[in-house]
Amino acid sequence: MRDAARGALLALAAAPSVAEADLSQEHLEALAPLLATTPDDEPPPVLCELLRIAVPMWIERLRALPWEERRARATAVADVVAHGGDLLIPDRRCQPGQRAKVFNAVAEGLALLALQPGGARFGPLRFECPGTAHS
């Protein structure tokens, strides 16, 4: 399942827009738990507040990068998130610095998606930078 989720994230990162992503049924099934949200299943408010600060900072760092470099970075952060995303759950034990590494990968990934048409959503947050895709 982890490889399927990683493949889905890579397919999304490689596509010019989310609507054009080449996602297989296996990809969609792997992403379903990540995409399914209910009012009781919102991300922790502290995480949202941290992302509200971190993602715009990442957007500013990434905005000037050429498309190919953005794509390469998306591949790298997808790998970090696919292998450590569960470390953002507060009761998970991890090595010092590992949770920060995953958090930064999530923030960078959201920033990269915000630079694409349609932007990115995370719980109640929406990040979007019109006019910056493939620049």
Q: Indicate if the pLDDT at residue 135 is higher than 50.
A: no
Average pLDDT over residues 48-59: 91
Mean pLDDT of the chain: 77
pLDDT in tens, 81-131: 988 887 776 666 777 778 888 889 999 999 999 998 889 999 899 999 876
* pLDDT for residue 73 is more than 60: yes
Identify which has the larger pLDDT, 73 or 27. Answer: 73
Res 59 pLDDT > 80: yes
pLDDT band at 25 (very low <50, low <70, confident <90, very high): low
What is the residue-wise DSSP string for the chain?
A: -HHHHHHHHHHHHHSSSGGG----HHHHHHHHHHH---GGGPPPHHHHHHHHHHHHHHHHHHTTS-HHHHHHHHHHHHHHHHHHGGGGSTT----TTHHHHHHHHHHHHHHHHHTSTT-EEETTEEE--TT-TT-
Percent of the chain with pLDDT over 70: 62
Name which residue leads in pLDDT, 105 or 35. Answer: 105
* Confidence at residue 66, expressed as pLDDT on a 0 to 100 scale: 93
Compute the average pLDDT of residues 39-58: 83
Comparing 10 with 18, which gets the higher pLDDT?
10
